[in-house]
Amino acid sequence: MAILDKLTAETGQITLTKVPDSWCWGLSIDGVFNVNQTRKHIDAVVLPNTCIPTIWCKLVPLKINVFVCRMALNRLPSRVNLSSRGIEIQDIGCALCDWNVETIDHVLFSCQVASDMWRKLAGDK
């Protein structure tokens, strides 16, 4: 009975009209779906709140910008990051060289395999 009384009290002030039902997008002022407002809402809710401003480089594909942003925030799934988030990893050592733990810095920059790859990409022999 208490639940019914509470429901009656809360719905008692609602006035129903004869206007047909319609869809209303709650993120915009006019109630119409808007990609820009939706993107801003998703950015505000999903993206990490950091002091680093997001400046996308328009010369490279979006996925590269996202990758660099995630790398800067240390959000790429290295073995150390996965382990620190509670995922059971048997070995957090680098899969390429096995000389160090697999951090983002190691895999992309200090690993010997990565260094050799960067050197080849730069055209050095």
Nearest distance, CB of residue 76 and Zn ion, angstroms: 15
Contact mark string toward Zn ion, 89..118, x via CB under 5 A: -----x-xx-------------x-------
Query: Cβ of residue 94: shortest distance to Zn ion, in angstroms?
Result: 3
Please state the closest distance from residue 101 (CB atom) to Zn ion, in A.
9
- Using alpha carbons only, give the angle 21, 24, 29 rounded to the nearest 5 degrees: 140
Structure-derived torsion over alpha carbons of residues 62, 64, 65, 71, reported in degrees to the nearest 10: 150
- Please give the backbone phi and psi of residue 99, each rounded to the nearest 5 degrees, phi first: -105, -15
Instruction: Tell me the site size for Zn ion, rule CB under 5 A.
Output: 4
How far apart (Å, rounded) are the C-alpha atoms in residues 71 and 93?
19
Q: Which of residues 49-88 bind Zn ion (CB under 5 A)?
A: none
Residues that bind Zn ion (CB under 5 A): 94, 96-97, 111
